[in-house]
Amino acid sequence: MTSPTIRLARDTDAQPIAVMSRCLIELGLRGWSWHPGRVKKAILHRDTCVAVAEVDHRMTGFAIAEFGDTRLHLSLLAVAAMHQRSGIGRALVAWLEQSALTAGITEMQLELRANNPGAKFFYQALGFEFAGVVPGYYRGEEAAFKMRKAISILAAGQV
């Protein structure tokens, strides 16, 4: 498979990102939290990074992360089903990690659905550590696992 190209999202990416979020991340939850308007707002916000992965000029994945003073919070990460386990998720996380280091950020954190062992394994393989459980995090319906990773310039080459 061709290596993904990672780029910043454009306004026109809001709809496909939102649909991917609804189908791959929010599946089974009431409502639609990351609707196109919210995604577009994230794309335009100066403290938020929305990255898109493309293979052969087709969107295959995305990530949305908020930059704080010392932490990057990964809000969403998804890879199209037919492209999962091909390195795209890893490439998106590595791209965000490099961006965070450039901004002087030393920690990445995220929450994931507690009923998603595949995602937990993925993040652990990238060096994230379990940091707790938040009951009812997902619209009062589902618990979340909190995970975090200390990052540094020396560790960046190991993603």
Domain residues for 55? 5-156
pLDDT digits (tens, 9 = 90+) for 46-101: 999 999 999 999 999 999 999 999 999 999 999 999 999 999 999 999 999 999 99
pLDDT digits (tens, 9 = 90+) for 124-150: 999 999 999 999 999 888 999 999 999
- At residue 143, the pLDDT reads 95
Say if pTM beats, i.e. exceeds, 0.75. Answer: yes
Quote the number of domains for the chain: 1
Outline where DSSP puts E strands in the chain.
5-8, 48-55, 58-67, 71-79, 107-113, 129-138, 142-150
* Structural tokens at position 1: 């498979």
- At residue 18, the pLDDT reads 97
The domain that contains 149 carries what CATH number?
3.40.630.30
For residue 76, count CB atoms less than 10 angstroms from its CB and return exposed for 0-12, middle for 13-18, buried for 19 or more. Answer: buried
